[in-house]
Amino acid sequence: MTTETNPAVQFTPERLVKAQEIIARYPAGKQKSALLPLLHLLQEQEGWTSPEGMDYVARMLDIQPIEVYEVATFYTMYHINPVGKHVIEYCRTGPCCLMGGEEVYDHLKQRLGIDTGQTTVDGQFTLKEVECLAACGMGPVFQVREKYYMHLTNERVDEIIDELSK
Amino acid sequence: MATKILTEHINVPGIETFDVYRKQGGYTAVEKALKTMTPEAIVEEVKKAGVRGRGGAGFPMGMKWSFLAKPEGVPRYLVCNADESEPGTFKDHYLMKNIPHLLIEGMIVSSFALGANKSFIYVRGELMYVINILEKAIAEAKAKGFLGKNILGTGYDLELVVQPGGGAYICGEETALLESLEGKRGNPRNKPPFPAVKGLYQSPTVVNNVESIATAAWIVNNGGDAYAAVGIGRSTGTKLISASGHIRKPGVYEIELGLPVEDFLYADEWCGGIRPGHKFKALVAGGSSVPILPANLALTLANGEKRLMSYESLSDGGFATGTMLGSGGFIVFDETSCIVRNTWNFSRFYHHESCGQCSPCREGTGWMEKVLHRIEYGHGHQQDIDLLVDVAKKIEGNTICPLGDAAAWPVASAIRHFRDEFQWHIDNPSEATKPGAVYKGEMALV
Amino acid sequence: MIDLRLLSRTTIYMEDVKPQLLKVTIDGIEVEVEPGTTILQAARKIGPEVAPPAMCYYQPLKASGGKCRACLVRVAAGSAKDPRPMPKLVASCLTAVQDGMIVENTTNPQVIDARNGIVEFLLLNHPLDCPVCDQAGECDLQNFAFDHGKVTTRYEEERRTFEKQDIGPYIQLHMTRCILCYRCVFTADQITNKRVHGVLGRGDASEIGTYIEKAIDNDFSGNVIDVCPVGALTDKTYRFKNRVWFSKPVDAHRDCPTCSGNVTLWYRGEDVIRVTARKNEWNEVTEFICNTCRFEKKKTSDWTIEGPTKISRSSVISANKYRADTVKPAFGQRLAAAEYKAIHDERDTSQLGIQQLAPERFAKVLPSALDPEP
């Protein structure tokens, strides 16, 4: 084995149970289907999909680590680099821009003092630009973890940042 | 009062719970289907209904079902495509969030009709909170005996699995979705073989959109003929339209197909007209990938008749003067919108979402975005417009999956109908790049 | 020596399930093939003049093909039963032949136009550093561009670049040149037991890589060099040592415990400067070889020499490959010349039923060529 494994990354007991439940959903021998859900679980726990974490998932599913890296780098939801405590993912696609998204996002960047792809120095916020979040009628929109924030205005953005900063 | 097939009860308080949904007549289709109908009879009703795939392609659902191969001893799968990611489209999000049991009921009768014992709902990963809603609803249905082993004592078993995506528009393409569901990169497969023969785990598979599957419950209850009686011509039934952009009332509306575009746009029951003080400039009628139309062509056909919200009427005139119903993402632009900027925005979307597997799409989408970017930011060349048309043409039809077409059409159509605006950007870079600058030349505003 | 068991088995096969051969016409030339044959394979059977180019398809590798779109052709008639044309151009490497199918390859301007486009797309982010590239002279992309490309580019943006990367002691990855054909990934999947490299990222940011720096470390890793259609994966033991047209390929073998030991030695003067697997006329490896044979046996005394290698038609070593007067005449000229020749081979007429089409049939075959779509 050339792969170096870091035993430090492990699911918590509750997540381990959840992971086993997920793997059991698929027909025998098709456990690779659990890869995307397990990467979400990993990210929920670790904040990002670290190489060590991905190797751990690969061992759990009995697949090669490269199969995990290929997947994690294809899908935009997985953070392959460390991120801040709150990741704000704002929609930059047409309909949100029609609803004034560009101004609101400019305000958001100013408020946080960072640009897209950056993390605030205190490690609280990471800003990511994403494509359509399927909430076009309620734009502009951003997402923080599972929560959607819709009908954004500059004032609303300030409120949300205040709330998350607490 | 217009017929509501999917959203009649959507505003009933507590409809997301099993009990309330049941009280409103929910799950009667499961009882009827499993206890009194054969799978073939259900397929027949869906065929009679003439319901067309609501994900965008508009392929008749009954026909898709009848193509499913049925070799002995091989499992068959139904996979619901809830990867809704087409810009301008948010109807499945709305439906699943508000009335999850409708989709589950549809999944049960559809799975029974197709002979599937394990079915999947592939939801885009961003909608994790909707996944939680669906999983809760599935647990409720299972506790009440509508899912699991020996459903309602009929001997039919069904497991429903909700699968999260990882953030990739391309997984809305059915074979990319299946790859993703198998834990791989979302690269669309070469076809044939089609999923009906070799789909999930190389087994026969049907992939249907959320809205399509949700209609199955109503069709079982009321019959295919009753469904076909709604709508117009070959555009039967109702359609969920996601309305966004510069209108007074953005949101999701269930309309009977055949409603005039003008009524949908201006009547208070639906979009309520353009936002006050502004004029109608352009429309994307079916999600970002369909051709954009200027206001006059959006409302009327080339022959002067009213354009209707139907597959046929929206595509009337081909790509010269028509567009497509697509997934029903109705994006309205008023006169403050810059078509060049929006085309660049859409082009950036397709560039970002191209899987990168085949060369025309991988390289062409990025090229188009870069050319559009330089036009928008005042560095366009005279030959750029023709270059864009040519690149779009070289992508269209030459790729593994329809994403290539979806990337090419918005660019080609924007130039077809708004060429002067592109030209203005190239000729007047200093003026066009001022904040909020919009082409004010001759055009048909309504 | 003839293996009698094999012979008798073949005989039974021939008698019992002799497959019905399918007739397909490609660029006006008819050929008979077995069911399941793809258009590309049928065309190759006719010969190099009508064989579509293939940048990603690689016959020895399962699941390859469909990605580069270089082999697009027009199907003017789907089959004898259903003679409707196919609505779009199809990838000939994946589309199975039907009986009575009529295919237009270089006789259709739409196909030529699409291929021009594919060359342009593939070169968009390609560095065009052929003068310093080890692959030059035996590069599929170079050949494809020569046959189907234009002299100029319309792309003026910055090209995508990557740092060069060593993946192990023998192989260098120069991702900037890669056209993402996936061949090296399939190779690792199919002939080694553990794949450590793959396609990372998405869209035009996709790259071949190992993610965290790893050596591709197994006995057969060197084969990724041979399957690479461009100079993205190169042999570090051969780097900058030579131009391929100065070398002399010789077939040789050795008794190897790991692989067949059948290789091609590349000589410059008296020195073996490179060892590769043997390739067929389509530039495809016929037998994969091990790293010991490839990288560590560079003395003539290591080998039993068989004789000069038959030069592949796509090799620059074949005489006058890039002479200006070998540039194919324009479509119209070729159509006028209709230089299709019947091949009369008395030994093999049933399998290779190539015959000249009557002129009226020929016209029927090429409706879109004579009357281009608006």
In a domain, B437, yes or no: no
Q: Is the dihedral of CA A10, A13, A17, A18 positive or negative?
A: negative
Report the candidate in B288, B282, B323, B329 with the shortest Cα–Cα distance to residue B302: B323
Please indicate if any CB of chain B lies within 8 Å of the CB of A21.
Answer: no
Q: What is the pLDDT of residue C323?
A: 52
Residue-wise pLDDT tens digits, C240-255: 888 888 889 999 999 9
DSSP of C1-16: ---HHHHHHHHHHHHH
Cβ under 8 Å to A: C residues 168-197: 194-197
- For residue C31, give both structure tokens: 């050929």
- What does the alpha-carbon distance between residue B223 and residue B45 come to, in Å, rounded to a whole number? 6
- For residue C228, give both structure tokens: 């690479």
- Give me the residue from C194, C199, C214 closest to A70, CB to CB: C199
DSSP of B127-185: GHHHHHHHHHHHHHHHHTTSSBSSGGGSS--BEEEEEE--S-GGGGSHHHHHHHHTTS-
Q: Flag whether A136 is marked binding.
A: yes
Q: How far is C100 from chain A (nearest CA, A)?
A: 41
- What does the alpha-carbon distance between residue A109 and residue A142 come to, in Å, rounded to a whole number? 13
> How open is the CA angle B315-B316-B320, to the nearest 5 degrees?
85
Q: How far is C195 from chain B (nearest CA, A)?
A: 15
Strand ranges, E, within chain C: 22-26, 29-33, 72-77, 90-91, 101-104, 165-166, 171-173, 198-200, 207-209, 233-235, 248-253, 262-268, 271-277, 304-308
Residue A105: C-alpha distances to residues A110, A117, A156, C73 (Å): 9, 13, 12, 47
In a domain, B399, yes or no: yes
Residues B329 and B365 in one domain: no
What percent of chain B clears pLDDT 90, i.e. is strictly above it? Answer: 96
Amino acid (1-letter code) at residue C132: V
Q: What is the pLDDT of residue B127?
A: 98
- What does the alpha-carbon distance between residue A130 and residue A116 come to, in Å, rounded to a whole number? 10
Class of domain C125-240: alpha beta
Residues of C within 8 A of B356 (CB-CB) are 180, 199, 201-206
Residues B163 and B210 in one domain: yes
Every domain of chain A and the residues it spans = 13-74, 86-165
Alpha helix ranges (H) inside B182-294: 210-222, 224-228, 261-266
Residues of B within 8 A of C66 (CB-CB) are 190, 358, 400
Q: Is the dihedral of CA C327, C329, C335, C341 positive or negative?
A: negative
Amino acid (1-letter code) at residue A111: R
Q: Cβ separation of C195 and A69 shorter than 8 Å?
A: no
Domain boundary among B318, B334, B350: B334
pLDDT band, very low/low/confident/very high, at C358 (cuts 50, 70, 90): very low
The total number of structural domains that make up chain B: 3
When pLDDT is averaged across residues B67-71 and rounded to a whole number, the result is 94
- For residue B38, give both structure tokens: 């054969």
Residue-wise pLDDT tens digits, A8-66: 899 999 999 999 999 999 999 999 999 999 999 999 999 999 999 999 999 999 999 99
Chain B's closest residue to C203, CA to CA, is B356
Who wins on pLDDT, C5 or B310?
B310
Q: What is the pLDDT of residue B76?
A: 97
- What does the alpha-carbon distance between residue A95 and residue B244 come to, in Å, rounded to a whole number? 7
- What does the alpha-carbon distance between residue B185 and residue C27 come to, in Å, rounded to a whole number? 37
Q: Which chains touch C (3 or more CB pairs under 8 A)?
A: A, B
When pLDDT is averaged across residues C133-156 and rounded to a whole number, the result is 90
Q: What is the pLDDT of residue C216?
A: 78
Indicate which CATH number applies to the domain containing B384. Answer: 1.20.1440.230
Do A13-74 and A86-165 agree at the fold level?
A: no
Who wins on pLDDT, B176 or C368?
B176
> How open is the CA angle A24-A29-A31, to the nearest 5 degrees?
50
Q: What is the pLDDT of residue C339?
A: 40
Domain boundary among B174, B195, B229: B229
- What does the alpha-carbon distance between residue B368 and residue C112 come to, in Å, rounded to a whole number? 22
When pLDDT is averaged across residues B30-56 and rounded to a whole number, the result is 97
- For residue B213, give both structure tokens: 């599957």
- Domain range for B240: 232-334
- What does the alpha-carbon distance between residue C148 and residue A6 come to, in Å, rounded to a whole number? 51
Res C321 pLDDT > 90: no
Residues B218 and B241 in one domain: no
Class of domain A86-165: alpha beta
pLDDT band, very low/low/confident/very high, at C314 (cuts 50, 70, 90): low
Secondary structure element (H or E) that encloses residue A143, with its range: strand A142-144
Helix (H, G, I), strand (E, B) or coil at C277: strand
Q: How many CB atoms lie within 10 A of CB A93?
A: 27
Contact (Cβ atoms closer than 8 angstroms) between residue C253 and residue C304 = yes
How does C143-176 read in b/e, with b if 16+ C-beta sit within 10 Å?
bbbeebbeeeeebeeeebeeeeeebbebbbbbbb
pLDDT band, very low/low/confident/very high, at C347 (cuts 50, 70, 90): very low
Q: What is the pLDDT of residue A6?
A: 53
Alpha helix ranges (H) inside A27-127: 35-46, 51-61, 65-74, 94-98, 101-112
In a domain, B321, yes or no: yes
- For residue B212, give both structure tokens: 């399509």
- Under DSSP, the state recorded for B232 is E
- What does the alpha-carbon distance between residue C176 and residue C192 come to, in Å, rounded to a whole number? 25
Contact (Cβ atoms closer than 8 angstroms) between residue B257 and residue B228 = no
Here the ipTM equals 0.95
Please indicate if any CB of chain A lies within 8 Å of the CB of C211.
Answer: yes
What percent of chain A clears pLDDT 90, i.e. is strictly above it? Answer: 95
What percent of chain B clears pLDDT 70, i.e. is strictly above it? Answer: 100
Mean pLDDT rounded to a whole number for chain B: 96
Secondary structure element (H or E) that encloses residue C364, with its range: helix C359-365
- What does the alpha-carbon distance between residue C204 and residue B362 come to, in Å, rounded to a whole number? 5
- What does the alpha-carbon distance between residue C33 and residue C41 come to, in Å, rounded to a whole number? 9
Residues of B within 8 A of A101 (CB-CB) are none
Q: What is the pLDDT of residue C192?
A: 86
- What does the alpha-carbon distance between residue B412 and residue C119 come to, in Å, rounded to a whole number? 22
Domain boundary among B229, B250, B283: B229
Res C331 pLDDT > 60: no
Residue-wise pLDDT tens digits, B364-375: 999 999 999 999
The β-bridge partners of B128 are: none
CATH of domain C4-111+330-370: 3.10.20
Q: What is the pLDDT of residue C111?
A: 93
* Separation of first and last alpha carbons in chain C: 61
When pLDDT is averaged across residues C34-49 and rounded to a whole number, the result is 94
Residue in this structure with the two tokens 């190992």, named with its chain if needed: C210
Model pTM?
Answer: 0.91
Q: Cβ separation of A133 and B89 shorter than 8 Å?
A: no
Chain A's closest residue to C188, CA to CA, is A66
- For residue B266, give both structure tokens: 């201006």
Residues B41 and B171 in one domain: yes
* Least confident segment among B161-165, B182-186, C154-158: C154-158
Which residues, 6+ apart, have CB-to-CB distance to A166 below 8 Å? none
Residue-wise pLDDT tens digits, B288-343: 999 999 999 999 999 999 999 999 999 999 889 999 999 999 999 999 999 999 99
Q: Cβ separation of A132 and B86 shorter than 8 Å?
A: yes
Residues B378 and B398 in one domain: yes
Is the domain spanning A13-74 CATH 1.10.10.1590? The answer is yes
The β-bridge partners of C25 are: C30, C102
Secondary structure element (H or E) that encloses residue C251, with its range: strand C248-253
